[in-house]
Amino acid sequence: MEIRKVCVLGAGIMGAGIAQALAEAGYSVSLRDIEDRFVRAGLDGIKKNLDRAVSKGKMDRNTADAVIQRIKGTVDLKQAAADADLVIEAVIENMDVKKTVFRELDELCPPQTIFASNTSGLSITEMASVTRRPQKVIGMHFFNPVPVMKLVELIRGFLTDDETFESAKAVVEAVGKIPVEVKEAPGFAVNRILCPMVNEAIFVYSEGIASAEDIDRAMTLGANHPIGPLALADMVGLDTLLFVLEGLHRELGEAKYRPAPLLRKMVRAGYLGRKSGKGFYEYAK
Ligand code: 3HC
């Protein structure tokens, strides 16, 4: 099935990044969030990214204007989703919220519309179970920052059919990213590997083994990671990291996935990383 129009639900960092990548590839995109200010913030972020690309000479002004023209921001779910060939949800990481969204979409969209979730590790099969089209539901997991990161994990739910998989794969390739196929499992492949590593770095820090700066220096210079694990935790969001780790711990039941107590404490204190201005480092607002 050829995808022309894509609806992205959630205009946060991930949703806006996905909308930008799609629009740059020529797709017509509707970007929906529940409040006008979230939609505006998402669109402003995309404009800033495009302006930066223009000022660096990586994109011409006409192309940037055409990209932004292809994205329609709205708070109206029906208007956003009813004529989309593909809906990608990037709403908050909460199974109940995601199920509610999928239930609503199932009423609004024709039976051939594909539903994708950008979840960082929740069950695609469970989300699909509330629709009458579980074979047309798939995971499309993008990485932060979306305009830069090349990978998309494609996750088959228990009932996802081959046609849906191939359509999603074609979209990933059209936006210039590389898909990997992953069977459904908590945290999929990347977060199952990455988040315990970052968690371990938090244990190392909380045990006073090295300073935050030295842990990050060690992993950038000693393991060739682009940024250190604590800087990465701040970038991903400490709340998101904790959520992924809790999911791994709950579903896989092994002590090695236990979130570092310091991570919990920081999240409770509102230290969420870049988005709150404070995490393992401080950020100018
Ligand atoms: N949006 C758009 N472009 C961005 C960007 C953003 N948010 N952040 C950086 N860039 C661009 C810059 O404009 C720059 O472009 P240029 O090469 O054309 O000038 C390029 O990326 C490099 O940026 P910088 O020189 O400012 O900084 P770095 O060299 O540190 O690169 C980075 C930034 C690419 C983000 C690098 O730090 C990196 O690779 N970090 C690790 C990212 C990572 O691991 N992401 C996965 C997180 S896990 C996840 O998302 C899963 C989720 O489910 C939890």
Q: Three-state SS for 185? A: coil
Q: What is the per-residue pLDDT for 2?
A: 87
Q: What is the per-residue pLDDT for 1?
A: 77
With the CA atoms of 128, 75, 273 and 285 taken in that order, what torsion angle do they form, in degrees rounded to the nearest 10? 170
Q: Are 177 and 21 in contact (CB under 8 A)?
A: yes
Which amino acids are annotated as binding site for NAD(+), given as ranges?
10-15, 33, 93, 98, 120, 144, 275
Write down the architecture of domain 5-183 according to CATH: 3-Layer(aba) Sandwich (3.40)
pLDDT in tens, 110-144: 999 999 999 999 999 999 999 999 999 999 999 99
Q: Are 182 and 153 in contact (CB under 8 A)?
A: yes
ipTM over 0.85: yes
pTM, 2 dp? 0.95
Residues of the chain with pLDDT under 50: none
pLDDT in tens, 40-60: 999 999 999 999 999 999 999
State in Å: Cα 148 to ligand 1 middle.
Answer: 6
**34-to-8, 41, 116, 170, 208 alpha-carbon distances in Å:** 12, 12, 18, 29, 43
State in Å: Cα 191 to ligand 1 middle.
Answer: 17
Q: What is the per-residue pLDDT for 11?
A: 98
Q: Where are the domains of the chain?
A: 5-183, 191-275
Closest CA to 235 of 143, 159, 147: 143
- Atom in ligand 1 nearest the alpha carbon of residue 121: 53
Q: Are 19 and 11 in contact (CB under 8 A)?
A: yes
Domain 5-183 matches domain 191-275 at the CATH topology level: no
CATH number of 191-275: 1.10.1040.10
Question: How far is it between the farthest Cα atoms of the chain?
Answer: 56
